[in-house]
Structure 1
Amino acid sequence: MTTVPGRSSSTFTRLLRHGFTDPSAAERLLELGALSSVRSDPVLLEALGATADPDLALRSLVRVVEAEEADERQRLLDTLVTAKPLRDRLLGVLGASEALGDHLARHPRDWRALVTYEATDLHPGVAEFERGLADAVDPDTLRISYRRCLLAIAARDVCGTIDVAETAAELADLATATLRAALAIARTATPADAALCRVAVIAMGKCGGHELNYVSDVDVIFVAEPADGVEESMAVPAATRLAAHMMRICSDTTGEGTIWPVDANLRPEGRNGPLVRTLSSHLAYYQRWAKTWEFQALLKARPVAGDPELGAEYVEAVSPLVWQAAERDNFVADVQKMRRRVVETIPVDRVDRELKLGPGGLRDVEFAVQLLQLVHGRSDASLHSGSTLEALRALAEGGYVGRVDAAHFDEAYRFLRAMEHRIQLYRLRRTHLVPEGEADLRRLGRSLGMRTDPVAELNKAWKRHASVVRRLHEKLFYRPLLDAVAQLAPGESRLSAKAAGIRLEALGYADPAAALRHLEALSSGVSRKAAIQRTLLPVLLGWFADSADPDAGLLGFRKVSDALGKTPWYLRLLRDEGAAAENLARVLSAGRLAPDLLLRAPEAVAILGDPEGLKPRTREHLEQEVLAAVGRADGAESAVAAVRGIRRRELFRTTAADIIRSYGTEESPAEQDLGALVDRVGSAVSDLNAATLSGALRAAVRERWGDTLPTRFAVIGMGRFGGHELGYGSDADVLFVHEPREGVSDQEASRAANTVVSEMRRLLQLPTADPPLLIDADLRPEGKSGPMVRTLKSYGAYYRRWALIWESQALLRAEPVAGDEELGREFIDLIDPLRYPMEGLGDDAVREIRRLKARMESERMPRGADPTLHAKLGRGGLSDVEWTVQLMQLQHGWVEPGLRTTRTREALAAACAAGLIPAEEAQTLDEAWVLATRVRNAVMLVRGRPGDTFPSNPRELTAVGRYLGYEPGHVGDMLDDYRRITRRARAVMEERFYGAV
């Protein structure tokens, strides 16, 4: 080490050894006249080295000493050297809090508040703090007195005289005393207002729970009643003026800084509601309008200032409402949603540093504890505490939380709160962000007793405790449900069956008794299978509870586990592949279709653990597999059974991917490309059905003719099939076309073609539990009365002579899907001039299309159906959009190549690009079409059978809402949004379709 001239090498070394990071600056400060009499005292140097930041402590000490008057300066220094309690307290505060160092520099005599070391000084209450504030007669003197009291709390905190919970309680008591003093100042300033009313201040949040931070908004609610003989109309405005004045006294910033903001936004109606209400007005609001989170907030309500009798009346009146909150519809979902919202508001660049609101932060502990309190506090008054740690202790004593788990979370919560306290204490600023700078992290670590490598030790401890807290919801809420049905080791806490049932009911399980039976069947015993289930189930229960039908999810999981429980890979997949377990939970609780498919082929669970497993297979790949399966089969019926197995698996793949993307994504519906989701499903189902028809066709041909049919044969997809827009419950609209092979008579070819069609339909209609694939050929020439299959020549003759405009319109979506590819292309060449007429449409044809549309609207709408909610035929639904687009295709398809597509959305985009429809109107039609398609898919997923309108069953309606991105309890918003979007689409349709020239 190089020694700077004039510097004492031994002092420099000692300073480094005692933790100073800038020994040169420290030496200069020690040589100043202010510390000349003590600079060589080893006791002082050692005491400075014991602080969180020795450099900061020394700088602040010099400022305090220099600020003292000359005759008092030496007294301070002598006392500092001879009185260890004062030395530890004063230097401890100066090394941890720059802000309190600033206060002592402005008010140097306040160090005397740290001299006494009596028993009452260790744990003062509200009365002691009120005496400490007794000389406060105006806002500035209140601020000074408040900081003096805060100085004493901080000294006890940094010296370890009180723990983190006691510190928080003292801060809450100091806040109580301060609110009382501020209200007294306000009353003195406006005695006329004070005479008109009784006012009570109710502390909420951390102040109400006796767990306040050093710097935090103090949440309050004001309640008032008229004084004797005073009208309410006079009393409430007077109370409002008093309350507002009191808030300003605490919140305003002056030369002495600020105390803390008083926040009254937890009052009824929030910042939009009156600041002060009477007790009856509060009760009327809570009984009629309050949301779940408001009752959760009231859990910590505590009268702290003003009229004590009125405050007690308020708490007594609202308390029963708090403990009935868990009986509200969607209670748990509302609480969980509020927690998710809090996390979503954190900026991405801060989420990993957010000590309070981030994952694994303080709010995770508080929310989970409050949720358990509200659920079980209905029948157990021992849980009625506003303090998180006291409530956690009561939950453990009552058996609602395992004692070991409770101890771990108590430890984690205390550590995180201690970090929060020390971060705020430094500059007395309201923050919950862990600092990034090396010096700040070093000071923070040292303030928590870490000395060897403070930064590394701090980060390690913080991550460890945050990791524990991340598992808090599982640990505190779901795992005890397994304890209720499992044999526990002696001394372990056990949730009673009754309490477990209450918790399951609160989570949304409609049949708690059945749910407990499923849990017992899955997790009881000492087998490896049961052990893995006990690991998986707490997480799965949370995912099930987050769905519209938790009972169905748990029942489905039991069925799948019963079917695959002895398969070695099944539980290992769920345990080791985190995505597989979550995906399975989402799929099992989203409705009937996907679970029904899975239970007929449980081995398809493997799809959920493969990152590539949810991607749809191409039509070529599907056809290869299907035709290979048909080739291996012994007969036509066996072949089609094999094809159905492939279809079942692939349909499950598609439904699972759709559900997981719709339910499991972190993006909101507004952020997702919903059109892409719809297109993906439509293409996948259409390709799958095309491959299925190819398999059925091959099976029908092989059964009688071997490899070669006497006539070329093709299947033409129509409607949604041809448009690649099939939904889960759509029929397959088709046309059949054939051409005799060389040397085969027309009669023989026709018989063969008709036989193949009949056999295909028979095979596909064989009884099965799988979702049916119904072939509908009613769009053929002459409809139901016409031949099922025709030659190209016959189609050409019919279309030239007899075709009506609706048939040209139907052919817009014709596309070959199976059979002879060349014949399929020949059919398309035949119909192109019909569907894209060179001369466009004449006025008569346009009028006929409009007439047909109007007739369909009046005749085909089901009786009793709400036309504003029917996805296919209703206002602004699929029919409205498709007929509008198809009219533009018929009119302009010959000259606009982009319009020559069977896909609705592609054609609409092409029409917009060609200037046939404004972009805003095209977007309106597209949005409505995508939404209506998703509604139909959702209904099929949820109910297991097709439907064109929203279900009437509340649970099914909620499940449809979840698929569409709506939280439970918001199905009304979903229906309103649907009506709004489709109403706008109908307006565009009426202008573009009925008003088009």
Structure 2
Amino acid sequence: MTASERSRPLTNLARLGFSRLGEAESLLAELETDAGVAREAVLSAAAVAADADEALSGLARIARRDPAAVRTAQADPQGWRALWALLGASTGFADFYLRHPEELAELTGAGAALPTGDELRSSLLDAVGAVDGFALEGGEASWVALRVRYRRLLARIAAYDLLSASPVDVLAPVAARLADAAGAALEASLCVARTRVSGGAAGAGLFPREQVAATRLAIIGMGKTGARELNYVSDVDVIFVAGADGTAPEALVEPRVVDIATRLAVQTMRGITSIEIEPPLWEVDANLRPEGKQGALVRTLESHLSYYNRWAKSWEFQALLKARPIAGDAVLGEEYVNAVQPKIWTSAARENFVDSVQRMRERVTEHIPAAEVPYQLKLGPGGIRDIEFTVQLLQLVHGLSDDRIRQRGTLDALDALVTEGYIGRTEAAAFAKDYRVLRLLEHRVQLRNLRRTHLMPSRPEDLRVLARSSRLADSGDRIWERWESVKREVRDIHVRLFYRPLLSAVAALPAEERSLSPEQAHDRLAAIGFADPAGALRHIAALTSGLSRKATIQRHLMPVMIRWFADGADPDYGLVAFRRLSERLGDTPWFLRMLRDSSGAAESLTRVLSGSRYVGELMEWIPESAAWLDDQAQLRPRSGIALQEEARAIQTRHSAIEDAMRSVRALRRRELLRIAMAAIIGTVTIEELAEALTTITEVTIQATLRAVRRVVVPPEDSSLDFSVIAMGRFGGRELGFGSDADVMYVYRPGHVDPQRAHELAIQLVAELRKHSEDHRVPLDLDAGLRPEGRNGPIARSLEAYAEYYRRWSLSWEAQALLRARGVAGSVKLIRAFTELADAVRYPASVDPQGLREIKRIKARVENERLPQGADPARHLKLGPGSLSDVEWLVQLLQLEHAHAVPGMRTTSTIAALRAASDAGLIPASAGDRLAEAWRLASRLRSANTLLSGQTSDVLPTDRKRLDGIGRLLEYPPRSATQVEEDYLGATRRSRRVFEKLFYG
């Protein structure tokens, strides 16, 4: 025989999946010689084995003990394939058939279909000779017979599973049959227990047969058993319930019933778990009973209910969610389940229920040994428990008022949750797919040795077998990658859904708000703060009516969101704005999904809408902005560089000035909305807010100037320089909502005729003002601080400014230049103007007469510029101790000392105040009081605009509006008086400092 001919059989073996080729060749020869099974017959089914080497090894061991049994099994093609599938996936089944080779004959036709629940029950009861609830005999032989028969049936279930074209798709029916088999095994073991307890075995505690027969014992399946989603080798969680039937003898009083039932429960458990000739099936775990291990093993129904009414913890109700009678007295079992159902579905209303469930899941993860975490299919992050806890929490919270999602099984519950709109289709589909994959992996690792485990294998050869047996991948490396991918996806969805703020809010809803008649709803809306409850009802009806998925989700959201709206300053407006926003977004899928699933978007949305008409009106025009509430990064002001790039890109795309400016206005509105939402949510400080408002104003003016210059200034006049100088709070980068943009305009003719340059500058100003107008959020370019005020030219050349300041400048004009800062146009011209301004505003010596004039003007401003009838103490800009006092004092100090103190050469009020304090020009405590009043007045001024959508410099007297302003400043509800007192107190302290330092 040539080398090629000798190697051909080994090559064929490798192709069939064998890796230990020499050993396989030897075992094939042994089977053919000693058992009489032809090589071709042995290999005909080898391809179905996940581990062909182990399958062949197991088959050879069985053949050594009973070659005839192997020959018989080989005669049935379907059974032969089933045997190879079983031996290739499970050394546990190889050991079983080695102990009982006669059981191979029972594989005839195995794998074609699952046994039914009735077949499982009748077969196991037949194994113990059960008649009228009693086994034929109560000795250990009955337990052995029960276990052998159970494993026979288990093999048929496993064969169907392993031979399925797609095992992941048959997971649910396979798990259901495993649960049915467990229930049937407990039923058969209970029959043996009755025989033993009634005297059928020496040494057992004896009771009269009629008393045992009259003792009702219901076995309640919990966890995966109750949900009919059991594993191959899993603890079977149970609760035992006792009772006596109506025909019980008079002597069968409750204590004796419980005594007999306890003996029955103990013997039932022994029949499954004790060490006998045939190994135990699985652990029967009764630790979910009241008081756990410390509590009585068996209780009456009344005793159970008494415990649940008085002592049960939240997790116990979560465990009861899957409770189902599985063996024993079915009527008593149903009575138990029906009695605990109302307690299960009201448990989420308990105080801190959601937090307790979340914490329990975290504790499970924390107690996993560190070395096991990467391999944990069940308990680890991204594992089965993440899916189960998420689904159960959603069920328990929303099941308070919706019985359509009260399902036992995880997959059934997912279907119900998605149908009723509590979870998105995408998340539900991913969860269902991943749950099947994780459970299939768990099934396969348990089948391997028929032992309870939830750990992924670590050895490459074991991963390869897992990949083949699950058919989820084609190699060990790929199955590990699949596992890691599933973990990541599950963990991501779990974190988003399990920690929804909406869950805690729904659970905390008062019972009377979960289901109300229209009359009750009207009264409830009025009670929680809606001024127009009838109108609110109409809006709610418009949002929730219909059969669409959108309406379904709105119905779930509305009870909680109404509560949140009611917590805001203006619930009625908030609800109206929400309805408009919902209608603008139409059937956009992300919007309602975000509100339902995000980590706080729904509550944040109610907060901004009920707290600010300014925001509500802008969101109606920019509805996609709602998405920002799901991402804190989106509520941070964008940088000036990013905004400049976007503005330049706009002008690159649009050649027509109208189109370009329409897009620039949209950019400004969008950023103003972003800043407003950030201010209300509290993600920006007052300094960051002022900086952001200033930046978007600068970018808008710069973009507008570029656009109008392209239209106004022809190429032959391109040497004309033109710039915009920011003044006042704009120049100080201290804008608030509703602030004007104070500006001056400067030009330098270059090579252009001076008269022509002046005309072009005037045209630039006119076009700049025209195209910067925005009826939604006005941008008022106010040039009132220019030389000679409103009587002076709207634009001057740099030389004209220089001449004016040299010859005619008044003290207030030098004071105004303290805030001057170039913001748009020619950089060289801005630099030249700044040098000119510095010479005027930071003089080496100050004219005392000029200082006196500033003080005189300040006094006149206080008397003359206040609106008629306004309370000076409430004016945020001109009132005593408010913005004007602080700014005039700081500017006076700058005129006097900025030349000598470089830190005071700044356009910022607070920065200059800090520099004056650091230089010892004013006491630190005085600086703190001035800064406190300035910041508070600035915040109140912006909040006033945000609340009403209208600019006002007066602190309102209306208590509701004042309370709304307080809410925006993060005061607690009903803080109108506190807001007022804080402002008046701060300005009184500021005014005392001002009078002492300004006039003193």
Could you tell me the TM-score, scaled by structure 1's length?
0.51
Q: Report the residue type matching 2:535 in the other structure.
A: A
Match status 1:974 vs 2:995:
no
Give the residue type in structure 1 aligned to 2:597.
Answer: D
Look up the SS of the partner of 2:743 in the other structure: strand
1:828 aligns with 2:834: yes
Q: Deviations over 1:617-645 (max 9, x none)?
A: 22232222223323433432332222111
Q: 1:575 to 1:159 in 2, by over 3 A?
A: closer
Describe how 1:35-114 pairs up with structure 2 within 5 A: none
Query: Separation in 1 of the partners of 2:927 and 2:833?
Result: 31
Match of 1:936 among 928, 937, 941: 941
Residue matched to 1:474: 506
How far has the Cα of 1:965 moved from its partner?
Answer: 2.4
Matched residue pairs, number?
562
2:561 aligned with 1:552: no
Deviation at 1:526, TM superposition (A): 2.1
Structure 2 CA distance for partners of 1:525 and 1:480, relative to 1, 3 Å = farther
Say if 1:710 and 1:752, in contact at 8 Å, map to a contact too: no
Task: Indicate the residue corresponding to 2:685 in structure 1.
Answer: 677
Is 1:850 equivalent to 2:859 in the alignment? no
Specify which of 743, 746, 750 is matched with residue 734 of structure 1: 743
Residue of structure 1 equivalent to 2:707: 699
Q: 1:615 to 1:403 in 2, by over 3 A?
A: closer
| Alpha-carbon distance between aligned partners in 1 of 2:402 and 2:554, rounded to the nearest angstrom | 22
Shift of 1:160: 8.8
Q: CA deviation at 1:581?
A: 2.5
Q: Is structure 2 residue 911 aligned with structure 1 residue 902?
A: no
1:479-514 Cα shifts (integer Å, max 9, x gaps): 976x7xxxxxxxxxx521111112212221112222
Determine the structure 1 residue equivalent to 2:916: 911
Aligned counterpart for 2:636 among listed residues 615, 620, 624: 615
Deviation at 1:827, TM superposition (A): 0.4
Moved more, 567-576 or 796-805: 567-576
1:531 aligns to 2:531 (yes or no): no
Match of residue 122 from structure 1 = none
Q: 1:782 aligns with which of 778, 788, 798?
A: 788
Match of 1:873 among 867, 872, 878: 878
Task: Say if 2:804 is the partner of 1:798.
Answer: yes
The farther-off stretch of 748-757 and 612-621 is 612-621
Conservation of the 8 A alpha-carbon contact between 1:710 and 1:749: no
Q: CA deviation at 1:923?
A: 0.9
1:459 alignment partner in structure 2: none
My pick for the range that moved more, 858-867 or 801-810, is: 858-867
Q: Which amino acid aligns with 1:895?
A: A
Partners of 2:626 and 2:503 in 1: how far apart?
25
Q: Give the 3 Å change call, closer, same or farther, for CA 783–164 of structure 1 in structure 2.
A: farther
Q: Whole-Å Cα distance in 1 between the matches of residues 533 and 506 of structure 2?
A: 18
Q: What is the distance in 1 between the residues matched to 2:886 and 2:501?
A: 51
1:833-859 deviations in Å (ceiling 9; x for gaps): 2111112x2432322221111111111
After superposition, the Cα gap between the structure-2 partners of 1:610 and 1:968, relative to the gap in structure 1 and judged at 3 Å, is closer
Residues 1:967 and 1:759: Cα distance change in structure 2 (over 3 Å): same
CA gap 1:835/1:543 in 2 versus in 1, 3 angstroms: same
Secondary structure of the residue aligned to 1:613 is helix
> Matches of 1:750 and 1:472 in 2, distance apart?
66
Residues 1:167 and 1:722: Cα distance change in structure 2 (over 3 Å): same
SS at match of 2:592: helix
Are the equivalent residues in 2 in contact too, given 1:157–1:167 (CA < 8 A)? no
Alpha-carbon distance in structure 1 between the residues aligned to 2:547 and 2:875: 53
Which residue pairs with 1:809 in the alignment? 815
Counterpart of 2:628 in structure 1: which amino acid? Answer: I
Q: Does 1:757 align with 2:765?
A: yes
The one-letter code sitting in structure 2 at the alignment partner of 1:726 is: L
C-alpha distance 864-162 of structure 1, shift in aligned 2 (>3 A): farther
- The reply on whether 1:747 has 2:755 as its aligned counterpart is yes
Displacement after TM superposition at 1:476 (Å): 6.1
| Seq. identity, % | 44
Aligned to 2:698: 690
**Partner SS state of residue 877, structure 2:** coil
Query: Secondary structure at 1:625's aligned position in 2?
Result: helix
Secondary structure at 1:617 match in 2: coil
Partner of 2:988: 983
What is the correspondence of 1:131-146 to structure 2 with a 5 Å cutoff? none
2:525 is matched with 504
8 Å contact kept, 1:936–1:948:
yes
Q: Could you tell me how far apart the structure 2 residues matched to 1:660 and 1:957 are?
A: 18
Distance 1:162 1:957 in 2: 57
- For structure 2, the 5+ residue unaligned runs are 1-203, 206-252, 260-293, 312-348, 361-398, 408-451, 453-494
Q: What do residues 869-928 of structure 1 show as CA deviations (whole Å, max 9, x unaligned)?
A: 211111210011111111111111011111011111111111111111222111111111
Q: 2:599 aligns with which of 554, 575, 578?
A: 578
Going from structure 1 to structure 2, the CA distance change for 1:167 and 1:746 (only over 3 Å counts) comes to same
User: Distance between the aligned counterparts of 1:825 and 1:922, measured in 2?
Assistant: 31
- Residues 627, 698 of structure 1: 8 Å contact kept: no
Cα distance in 1, alignment partners of residues 503 and 745 from structure 2 = 59
SS of equivalent residue, structure 1 residue 778:
coil
* TM superposition shift of 1:953: 3.8
| 2:970 paired residue number | 965
CA distance in 2, matches of 1:961, 1:923: 22
Task: Write the distance in 1 (CA, Å) between the matches of 2:916 and 2:501.
Answer: 55
Aligned partner of 1:590 in structure 2 is 611
Distance 1:775 1:402, change over 3 A: same
CA displacement 1:57-107 (0-9 Å, x = unmatched): xxxxxxxxxxxxxxxxxxxxxxxxxx9989x99xxxxxxxxxxxxxxxxxx
Shift of 1:518: 1.7
1:626 maps onto 2:647 in alignment: yes
Change (3 A) 1:163 1:597: farther
Q: Tell me if 1:725 matches 2:734.
A: yes
Distance 2:611 2:899 in 1: 45
Cα deviation code 1:955-984 (max 9, x no counterpart): 322211111222232211211111111111
Deviation string for 1:730-769 (max 9, x for gaps)?
1110010001123x2111111111111111112223xx54
Conserved in 1, the CA contact under 8 Å of 2:545 and 2:551?
Answer: yes
Structure 1: gaps of 5 or more residues: 1-41, 44-82, 90-153, 172-338, 354-399, 409-451, 453-462, 484-493, 663-675
Matches of 1:561 and 1:704 in 2, distance apart? Answer: 43
Partner of 2:720: 711
Q: 1:84 to 1:479 in 2, by over 3 A?
A: closer
Q: Give the Cα separation in 2 of the matches to 1:774 and 1:553.
A: 28
Q: Deviations over 1:387-419 (max 9, x none)?
A: xxxxxxxxxxxxx984869999xxxxxxxxxxx
Asked if structure 1 preserves the Cα contact closer than 8 Å seen for 2:960 and 2:976, the reply is no
Q: In 2 relative to 1, CA 480–629 (structure 1 residues): closer, same or farther, beyond 3 Å?
A: farther
What is the distance in 1 between the residues matched to 2:735 and 2:799?
30
| Contact preservation (8 Å) 2:594, 2:601 | yes
Q: After TM superposition, list the pairs within 5 Å mapping 1:2-21 onto structure 2.
A: none
Report matched runs for 1:295-444 at 5 Å.
402=401
User: Are 1:772 and 2:778 counterparts?
Assistant: yes
Give the whole-Å Cα distance in 2 for the aligned partners of 1:789 and 1:877: 32
Equivalent-residue separation in structure 2 for 1:618 and 1:989 (angstroms): 36
Contact map agreement 2:712 2:763 (CA 8 A) in 1: no
Question: 2:728 touches 2:816 (CA, 8 Å); kept in 1?
Answer: yes
Q: Distance in 2 between matches of 1:912 and 1:610?
A: 40
Q: Could you tell me how far apart the structure 2 residues matched to 1:843 and 1:157 are?
A: 97
Give the conservation status (yes or no) of the 8 Å contact 1:682–1:727.
Answer: yes
